[in-house]
Amino acid sequence: MRIPPLAKVLIKRAFVLFLMVIIVTYLTILIANAGGYVDEIIISDIKFNVAQRVSANPLYKGLSIEERNKLIERLVEDEIRLRGLDKPFPIRSLIYLWNGLTLDLGRSMYLTSDTGSRSVKLIILERLPQTILLFTTATVIIFLIGLFGGLYLSRNFGSFLDKLTIYLSPTSAIPGWFYGILLILIFYSYLHVLPPGGMVDYPPPEEPVAYFLSVLKHMILPVAAWVISSFFIEIYYNRSFFLTYSTEDYVEAAKAKGVPPSQIERRYILRPALPPIVTSFAFAVVLSWSGAIITETVFNWPGLGRTLAMAIGFFDVPVIVGITVVFAYLIAATTFILEIIYGIIDPRIRAGVEGI
Amino acid sequence: MSVSEYTLKGIFKELMRYKSALVGLAILVFLVALSLYALIFTPYAQAGEIWNDQNRWLAYPRNAAPEWYNFFSSKKLPPSILIGEGLPNHKSEEAEREGHRVITYLDSFTYNYDDFPSELVLLINTTYSGSPPTVKVYWVKPSGEELNLSVYRPRNISESIYISNNLILERDLEEYAIDKLGFTPNYTITIPVALFMEYKGEPTVMKGNYTVRIEVTLYNRSDTFSYRLLMHGKVYGIAGTDIYRRPLEIGLIWGAPIALSFGIVASVTITFANLILAAISGYYGGKIDSLIQRLTEIYMIIPFVPFIVTISILYGLDIWRLLLIVIILSILGTPVKTYRVWVMQLKTSPYVEAAIAYGASNLRIIALYILPRILPPVVPSLVLSIPSYVFLEAALAILGLSDPKVVSWGRIIEESFAGGAVYKGYYHWVLIPSAMLILTAISFALIGLALDRIVNPRLREM
Amino acid sequence: MKLLSVSNLKLYYKTTKGVVKAVDDVSFDLNKGETLAIVGESGCGKSSLSRAIIRLLPRNVHTYEGKIMLNGTDLMSMDEETFRKEVRWRKISMVFQGALNSLNPVLKVGYQIAEPLIIHMKMDEKEAIERAKELLVKLGLSEEFAERYPFELSGGMKQRAVIAMALITNPDLIILDEPTSALDVITQANIMNMLKELKRSREQTFIFITHDISVTSELADKVATMYAGQIVEIAPADTFYEEPLHPYTQKLMKSVPTLRREKTLESIPGAPPNLINPPSGCRFHPRCDKAMDICRKEDPPTFERGHSVKCWLYR
């Protein structure tokens, strides 16, 4: 069976990307071990817990100090062996690697999911949708504003709105989370109209529509913060981008041919521009998820970013590694999907021409 | 679109024509001046230490707003007022009673503000042998009323007596005030309030001339005594103070070099690293090119922010090591791919081919022919990325990951959150360092965007 | 009746440095089946002239006026939408300079050639592509290229495709703006032969713009010389090559090598004029060895000495 050249290219890329996820995961594990420091924390944690358990247990009340200490020591050793901490780190790191890649992310040290489970995978699965909800909404809104605003301005190059956009684009040098702080100050501290954080009112409304509206209310400020931040620069970049594409020779040729303006915009400007547009959109979405940590902390939004911040505060290494691995997978997956889409859109790739 | 025909010099000359860029440059010059001032005229090396040392700031009021706040407000807040020895309107008279020296000091001052001071502190310097001096403090309001502010016996050579923290005195004065009012008012009567109030249903300040009379009894010929009375105000300086009494203007000055150097060093180093690696990759091609491309793709999969935050907390980085990590995590990335394409285009240009033909070494070609040509179109994004590094440092500070030895604007904002500025209404604590960050970002953005318009000829006015 | 009659055509652009007078009061006529070649140096306004005729105006247009009569219809008075529907490609089509980028990289070649039929003749897509394929074959390309994308074609093939695209609606007039400049000599010759064949079999009217005189000699019935935004001479082809009247044309001819005769090659001194601030009087006078006093002061009108020439020598 002849494999079409597109499929060959894609399969090769899938392998390469997977290899990279492996490398990034291993790197994360190495870093997260912090030179053995984390191990020390875990071990002292174990010692503390065991000592507590032993002194609280009435069974052991009668023991002498020496006997108790020996017992504690033995229990600690058992626990260490149970957790696999007696093996040297290099070997353990490979075990962690395998676990990480198969998304068997283990148990957290402190954090729990809403249901009380310590399973890192569950914790992540519980929080990831919230991050996706918030940031994808913001990214889509920004993308659409940028696209249509940029298209409009490229057609009306040099107009007042055009100049206004250029002059106001420095406002985008300030990141969304910063605007978030300012918006909270204005709309909560000063005006008291919008909530300062969280995802729903407390206590959460029972009825689905009310719940949905409550979530929406809590999404207003964070989404607005990012929209304000990206607004002008996004329109500006799209405008420049479309200007480049609309000054291409084949666009002029199409105009000469008498192709109606709406078709020119669709077929001669947008279509060829699609690959870079799609790429930047996809990466914007994925990067917005992994950059969520600060925004979610500012807004106390119960997503993966805030979970990461909490895990870091608790030195909860399994969660830290788990989240980082999940993000790496997401980025790799997006890259891969993009390459598939590219293959469909760009005829040069379909023909198997590499290195475009 | 490939490499531009502009030289660096040409670009900067052109930049001067853009008003927005000039505004940006003006702001930048201001910030640089601020940073130089911080480095040269302040004990910058110990900045962190001094900032963290609570004892250094006792002379300043807590949570004071900036002085210019009074310009906008109809209610004029008082600044800090200092009276006593060496200051105007100070009189002293010495007498003898029962064999001891008794000195009577009189200080007067005019108070016409609409709000009460925040604290009263009596700062005493005394030496004594045997019995410590007895200090009686009397307070005379413009109405003529005289209030007894109790008796104190300072034991240390220099002592700060927080009159306004004297709970018994507070209770007494409160009773007195309620008595004078004839009813219990709906506002709290603290000591500063009691000392300055008119007896009305709303908290009103009695404006006019106040006199403080201090009678000091010294029990030994050789005893010495000197004092000052400090009334902490509610406004201070250009930027106010925080909950630890630290004047924010000092924090702002100390934060300037950090913001600028972090942003500029990060952006410049990363851009140059990207360019050099792209040049190597594009020029040599082959295996080196493939290797660098694969590494770039690995880099692109690394989630930058989680990595930075993780490393930052697990390794307790100081700010320069943090900078190093940020650079290491950014030396490869999407820009490398773009620059590499330019390098490959340049490689086949006639004058590079000519250079190869006359035997120039590869290093020479890259350094003298290729890099100078791909640098100009890169300058706008170099400048434009500086704000993002400035905010990255601020973000890490706000997450609590900042270097405790460093005073940065982000750290001040973090302290403001921890100190409840948002809930208690100390907006200046949050907004003023924020304004500095915004100012820095906008200055670089203005310059960078003007550069962007210069370097993209198709997008200039046609 | 003349097919095309251009009178006092002007096209000026606004730029940061001033107003560029790219086409400054140009007039000429063209009969059906005739080929008019327009020659001149780079920057003399020839491309702008072609754009002025087909109304491809840039954003920064300052002045666009004059009269363009095609088969008795006044084109200048038409509004944009009418012009688009009735004139574009149905009456006038164009082959662009640098045709290599005239084709949309993400659309198939066949579709792009057929597109004018679909848009203007409301033809069904399948049928239109069939016609496109027929035309490709007539121009010497295999019909399978209709299913390909532009990047799969060589320079010469793309040029043929673009010419096919210009022909498919059988327009009255085809403007070719330096169609062969980017091609190798052999392909150039092939394309010229193809154009000659089209001229013969369809009685196609061409306006052919080039900076290379030697290329026009095979195709042109009339040759016009353009200088600094103005047409300084229009002559029948033979007269143009044998006995040019305008000093500029004479110099041009002297600078072209001939195959059989011995010839000392001469170049024209000086640099092409600035279209924002052209020289006073006759624009060529700074570079003309026959310049007289009046040439510095007054812009000459067009005189008829057998053919049109704009020079004080022929007063």
Q: Which of A77, A41, A76 is nearest to A317 (CA)?
A: A41
Is the domain of A69 the same as that of A127?
no
- Check residue A355 and give its pLDDT: 42
Structure tokens at A119: 């399973």
Instruction: Specify whether domain B3-55+246-460 bears CATH 1.10.3720.
Output: yes
Tally of domains within chain A: 2
pLDDT digits (tens, 9 = 90+) for B398-426: 888 888 889 999 999 999 988 888 788 88
Q: Which residues on A lie below 8 Å from B422 (Cβ)? A: 184-185, 189, 196
Stretch among B363-377, C24-38, C42-56 having the lowest mean pLDDT = B363-377
CA B92 to chain CA mean position, Å: 41
Is the domain of A197 the same as that of A274?
yes
Number of CB pairs, chain B paired with chain C, less than 8 A apart: 5
DSSP code, position B168 = H
Q: Which residues on B lie below 8 Å from C58 (Cβ)? A: 462
Could you give phi then psi for residue C168, rounded to 5 degrees? -60, -25
What is the spatial distance between Cα B37 and Cα B50, in angstroms, rounded to a whole number?
Answer: 17
What is the spatial distance between Cα B340 and Cα B374, in angstroms, rounded to a whole number?
Answer: 10
Q: Which residues on B lie below 8 Å from C15 (Cβ)? A: 462
Concatenated DSSP letters of B288-311: HHHHHHHHHHHHHHS-HHHHHHHH
Q: Which of A273, A277, A276, A291 is nearest to A331 (CA)?
A: A291
Helix axes A208-246, A176-184, angle to 10 degrees: 140
> What fold, for C2-91+171-314?
Rossmann fold (3.40.50)
Residue A333 lies in a domain: no
DSSP code, position C35 = E
- Check residue C198 and give its pLDDT: 86
What is the spatial distance between Cα C279 and Cα A255, in angstroms, rounded to a whole number?
Answer: 35
Rounded mean pLDDT, B202-221: 90
Closest CA in chain B for residue A297: B399
Residues ≥6 apart with Cβ < 8 Å to B213: B104, B105, B106, B137, B138, B139, B140
Name the class of domain B78-232.
mainly beta
Is the domain of A191 the same as that of A82?
no
Is the domain of A136 the same as that of A217?
yes
User: Is the backbone of residue C306 left (phi > 0), alpha (psi -120 to 50) or beta?
Assistant: left
Residue A326 lies in a domain: no
Concatenated DSSP letters of A131-155: HHHHHHHHHHHHHHHHHHHHHHHHH
Is the domain of A84 the same as that of A126?
no
Whichever domain contains A128, its CATH number is 1.10.3720
Is the domain of A134 the same as that of A244?
yes
pLDDT digits (tens, 9 = 90+) for C212-244: 777 777 788 999 999 988 999 998 888 888 888
Q: B302 near A27, Cβ under 8 Å? A: yes
What is the spatial distance between Cα A31 and Cα A10, in angstroms, rounded to a whole number?
Answer: 31
pLDDT digits (tens, 9 = 90+) for B326-352: 999 999 988 888 888 888 888 888 878
pLDDT band (50, 70, 90) for residue B3: very low
Domain that holds residue A162: 120-315
Q: Which residues on A lie below 8 Å from C101 (Cβ)? A: 248-250
- Check residue A348 and give its pLDDT: 62
Domain ranges of chain C: 2-91+171-314
The helix (H) or strand (E) run that includes residue B6 is none
* Ranges B7-11, B76-80, C43-47, most confident: B76-80
The helix (H) or strand (E) run that includes residue B148 is strand B146-152
Q: B244 near B53, Cβ under 8 Å? A: no
What is the spatial distance between Cα A261 and Cα A246, in angstroms, rounded to a whole number?
Answer: 12
Q: Which residues on B lie below 8 Å from A309 (Cβ)? A: 309, 399
Verify whether the Cβ–Cβ distance B387 to A173 is below 8 Å.
yes
Residue C180, burial from CB neighbour count under 10 angstroms (0-12, 13-18, 19+): buried
Q: Any CB–CB contact under 8 A between C15 and chain B?
A: yes
pTM: 0.81
What averages of pLDDT result for each successive group of 10 residues across chain A (356 residues)?
70 85 84 70 75 78 78 82 74 76 70 74 88 92 93 83 86 90 87 85 84 90 93 90 86 90 89 84 83 87 88 77 84 83 68 46
| Alpha-carbon separation of residue C135 from A252, C107, C116, C145, C199 (angstroms) | 23, 18, 13, 11, 15
**Closest CA of chain C from B462, distance in Å:** 6
pLDDT digits (tens, 9 = 90+) for C96-134: 876 678 888 888 999 999 999 998 888 899 999 999 999
Residue A235 lies in a domain: yes
Domain ranges of chain B: 3-55+246-460, 78-232
pLDDT band (50, 70, 90) for residue C313: confident
% of chain B at pLDDT higher than 90: 39
Nearest to B399 among A294, A315, A327 (CB): A294
- Check residue A106 and give its pLDDT: 65
- Check residue A37 and give its pLDDT: 65
Instruction: Give the ipTM.
Output: 0.84
Strands B208-218 and B100-111 come out as antiparallel
Chain A: touching chains (3 or more CB pairs < 8 Å): B, C
Residue A286 lies in a domain: yes
- Check residue B26 and give its pLDDT: 94
| Alpha-carbon separation of residue C114 from A126, A257, C89, C161, C172 (angstroms) | 55, 11, 12, 11, 18
Radius of gyration of chain A (CA): 27
Q: Any CB–CB contact under 8 A between A181 and chain B?
A: yes
Alpha helix positions (H), B316-349: 319-328, 334-347
Number of neighbouring beta carbons within 10 Å of residue B308 = 21
Is the domain of A92 the same as that of A135?
no
